[in-house]
Structure 1
Amino acid sequence: MNNWLRNYRGIIWLIGGIIAGSVAGVLFGKRVEVLKPVGDIFLNLLFTAVIPLVFFAIASAIAGLGSSGKLSRIMGIMSLVFLSTVLISAFLTIVAVWLFPIHEQLTPLRLTESLSEKPIGEQLTRLFTTGEFYELLSRQNMLAMIIFSVLVGFATRRAGEKHGVFRDFIHAGNEVFKNVFILIMKLAPIGLGAYFAYQVGVFGPQLFGAYARSLGLFYGYGLFYFVVIFSLYAFIAGGVKGVRRYWKNNIIPSATALGTCSSIATIPANLDAARRIGIPDIIANVTVPLGATLHKDGSSISSIIKMAVVFALFGKSFDSVDVILLALGMTVLVSIVEGGIPNGGYVGEMLFISAYGFPPEALPPAMVIGTLVDPLATLLNATGDTVAGMLVSRFSEGRNWLSKTDTVSGEPI
């Protein structure tokens, strides 16, 4: 019980702050507008820290990658598996949102500023690039900054050991800004509580309906994805035997993911499960650790649902081709950006909000949904890495990869 409370303490405090703020908004109405500056201070701290945090995280990860013959082939297949499963989860979520329209009954929020509408070509240009270096430091240009971070990471690798000082610098910067983000998030119960008091008091309790419907869809569809889609992946990887082995050895990783609420903390359990399933060590040792930071089916599902709710709250449709294509791209980026960053889901939410041109008021609703779906999202993120390892084994080792190992350490599996 003590371990559970320690692992979920941050979420409990955050939900407590949100509930307290919401109650204050209901009781005092528009008088809680005096608390809005407290919420604004918290959001500004987040927006200030996110740019250096993401830059150092991505550049550091790429600069630290190694390379070899078979490893390069495995990583190529792994990248395709990660990309495919994240896109499948996102697309199926879009279908679920169309079938169960959680957003159609919402009343748009009243804004003092209008959302800009620009031609798709201009939007793509601004999304991927900036005209000046200093513009990379704006949260409005996060995707361009991410692309620049990737380039810096690869350039650091090409520079070799003679420029190891710069590599050490970006690794150190990554660690420092992780801790900066941790310190800022300690203020989240107060900051989000104040912002929620303002939103509920000014915009009314209609917000709760949005969360109830979105949570119902996420948990219903998420459990379906966990049982049915993961079983389908295991069947593709190894037939009926693959399905049996996956579920027999997935209990401990699932319990670990729910108990710790962390994909990183589930890595040891996933590695042991991969060994018992029969995934080759070279595949498991690459796929599971990288999957914990780069492969997040649960985050992909929650991202689409958060986008649908935010779009509805701001009176915009979530069904045009350009919006859907950008949403699919955002889910892939969110999956990458979240990895290795404490509370990385909040960074992903800022990414899609800036990409679509929403004002800062869009962040708290997305953050609340992200917090409430975190346990099941972590379960999907973590246990999806093992079945991804099975798929990588199937496409790199051949159809009969499971038959090559009938026992592990002399024990039947």
Structure 2
Amino acid sequence: MVNKDRRKVGLLPKIIIAIILGIVCGLFFPEWLTRVFVTFNGLFGNFLSFVIPLIILGLIAPAISELGKGAGKWLAVTAGIAYTSTIFAGLLGFAVSMAVLPRLLANKQVGAVTNPEDALLQPYFTVEMAPVFSVMTALVLAFILGVAMTVIEGKSLQRGLIEFRAIVNIVISAIIIPLLPLYIFGVFLNMTAAGEVFNVITTFLGVIIMVFVLTVILLLIQYAVAGAIVHRNPFKMLATMLPAYATALGTSSSAATIPVTLRQAIASGVSTPVASFTIPLCATIHLAGSTMKITCFSLAVMILYGLPISTPTIIGFIFMLGITMVAAPGVPGGAIMTAAGLLSTMLGFTEPQVGLMIATYIAIDSFGTATNVTGDGAIAHIVDKITARSNARNGIAVEQDTPGTATGGATVAG
């Protein structure tokens, strides 16, 4: 039994292997074989779209109810921390961009760049799996049910939601987690075969490097703050979240990465009840990486096209981004599609300029998403500490679950 455990490959190595194999195989796989994996990705992606609202409802509602009568306060605290982190990321991106981009983009011209999604291969067939309700509907419903159960003694409803959570955990551990590496392999296989992604990356290579460095700095800041608050080593906390970062690189969706983010947050020491509501919640409202990336690339496009840059306008743009992109992480590239309206109305982008933004964003969408979900772990630690202090003052004993398990004894990930 011990030898089997030693031979077992962890999720992070599997994801890294899937990314490498996807890039390598994309260089020589025939189109028909690539489309086989693209077809699987279409089916699995549609399944994810169907199940994500159920995951949000199944995890958040019972977790809120278990927080007790102060649940509404913890929702507000979590939302406030997430929004503050998002705005800080945007302002940091703005400050660094104004200091670096004018020199970095001097005498540069925009090449012919098209949307990478237009060049991707299409599946042989698709099966529609319409969600029962949208991500935002699931979020609001989870809030209503969770908070209501802290007010009334709805034992039957509470028991039903706990059983529903057990079903969700089974779907996560038995279907989603095992198939994620294959899905990520298909994503990178298709992108490599299309080749258009590399055209975009080459055009904006300097800006991409700057943004990547900024996202690393942002994560270090987030975990330094969280580590100081919870009195833990921030580097160990951040290292524990790396499987979530790698998963988001492949899925480009914060919501699709919820199962892995939740598992790693619990493994890093966040109590299961707090992790079960902060992680799904932050997956829909915490957009620090996406906001930073959109801000930096917006400024790059404005500098390249000689558009006027007004500090109050950019700051207002950042504050609006943090609000309008809520629930956009439910689908890959959703953040930039939601922000497209703001680019036109607030920054004066023309249709070709918006198209350029969409192309550059989608080409490296996964890096912003990975930053979003990894930062969710830092927020979960902070909320967990605040909750523990409040419970201690009120004399409330809170059971700390074993890392790697969800409340109620169901395993989050195998």
Matched, 1:290 2:281: yes
Q: Which residue number in structure 2 is paired with residue 340 of structure 1?
A: 330
Matched, 1:221 2:222: no
CA shift digits 1:50-89 (9 cap, x unpaired): xxxxxxx99xx99xx9686332111100110111100111
Is 2:272–2:400's contact at 8 Å kept on the other side of the alignment?
no
Aligned residue pair count: 283
Q: Which residue number in structure 2 is paired with residue 211 of structure 1?
A: 204
Greater shift, 335-344 or 68-77, is seen at: 335-344
CA shift digits 1:210-265 (9 cap, x unpaired): 61221121112222223x213323223312x2525513522332333334443233
SS at match of 1:336: coil
Cα distance between partner residues in 2 of 1:367 and 1:384: 24
- 5+ residue gaps in structure 1? 13-56, 110-149, 161-187, 201-206
- Cα distance, 1:93 vs structure 2: 0.9
Cα distance between partner residues in 2 of 1:234 and 1:154: 27
Q: Which residue number in structure 1 is paired with residue 160 of structure 2?
A: none
Cα distance between partner residues in 2 of 1:400 and 1:300: 34
More helix by share: 1
Structure 2 CA distance for partners of 1:2 and 1:84, relative to 1, 3 Å: closer
Cα distance between partner residues in 2 of 1:6 and 1:269: 16
Q: 1:373 aligns with which of 350, 357, 364?
A: 364
Matched, 1:253 2:244: yes
Q: Which residue number in structure 2 is paired with residue 265 of structure 1?
A: 256
SS at match of 2:75: helix
SS at match of 2:245: helix
Is 2:344–2:354's contact at 8 Å kept on the other side of the alignment?
no
Alignment of 1:155-166 (within 5 A): none
Matched, 1:387 2:378: yes
Structure 2 CA distance for partners of 1:256 and 1:360, relative to 1, 3 Å: same
Structure 2 CA distance for partners of 1:343 and 1:354, relative to 1, 3 Å: same
Letter aligned with residue 335 of structure 2: G
Matched, 1:307 2:298: yes
CA shift digits 1:339-373 (9 cap, x unpaired): 32342033134122222232211122212221233
Q: Which residue number in structure 2 is paired with residue 233 of structure 1?
A: 225
Structure 2 CA distance for partners of 1:382 and 1:8, relative to 1, 3 Å: farther
Letter aligned with residue 207 of structure 2: S
- Cα distance, 1:91 vs structure 2: 0.9
TM-score, with normalisation over the residues of structure 2?
Answer: 0.55
TM-score, with normalisation over the residues of structure 1?
Answer: 0.55
SS at match of 1:101: helix
Cα distance between partner residues in 2 of 1:82 and 1:308: 24
Cα distance between partner residues in 1 of 2:367 and 2:336: 16
SS at match of 2:330: coil
Structure 2 CA distance for partners of 1:154 and 1:270, relative to 1, 3 Å: closer
Letter aligned with residue 208 of structure 2: L
Cα distance between partner residues in 1 of 2:202 and 2:243: 35
Cα distance between partner residues in 2 of 1:392 and 1:314: 43
Is 2:245–2:370's contact at 8 Å kept on the other side of the alignment?
yes
Q: Which residue number in structure 1 is paired with residue 387 of structure 2?
A: 396
Is 1:249–1:277's contact at 8 Å kept on the other side of the alignment?
yes
Is 1:237–1:393's contact at 8 Å kept on the other side of the alignment?
no
Structure 2 CA distance for partners of 1:407 and 1:221, relative to 1, 3 Å: same
Cα distance between partner residues in 2 of 1:300 and 1:331: 7
Letter aligned with residue 223 of structure 2: S
Q: Which residue number in structure 1 is paired with residue 320 of structure 2?
A: 330
CA shift digits 1:152-183 (9 cap, x unpaired): x989x99x9xxxxxxxxxxxxxxxxxxxxxxx
Matched, 1:409 2:402: yes
SS at match of 1:282: helix
Matched, 1:360 2:351: yes
CA shift digits 1:357-406 (9 cap, x unpaired): 322111222122212332321220111111111121233332998xx999
Of all paired residues, the percent bearing the same amino acid is 18
Q: Which residue number in structure 1 is paired with residue 27 of structure 2?
A: none
Structure 2 CA distance for partners of 1:342 and 1:208, relative to 1, 3 Å: closer
Q: Which residue number in structure 2 is paired with residue 105 of structure 1?
A: 106
- Following TM superposition, where does structure 1 have runs of at least 4 consecutive aligned residues deviating by more than 4 angstroms? 1-12, 65-68, 106-109, 207-210, 404-408
Is 1:256–1:266's contact at 8 Å kept on the other side of the alignment?
yes
Q: Which residue number in structure 2 is paired with residue 50 of structure 1?
A: none
Structure 2 CA distance for partners of 1:253 and 1:108, relative to 1, 3 Å: closer
Cα distance between partner residues in 2 of 1:275 and 1:83: 22
Is 1:77–1:392's contact at 8 Å kept on the other side of the alignment?
yes
Is 1:299–1:345's contact at 8 Å kept on the other side of the alignment?
yes
Compute the RMSD of aligned alpha carbons: 4.7
Structure 2 CA distance for partners of 1:329 and 1:345, relative to 1, 3 Å: same
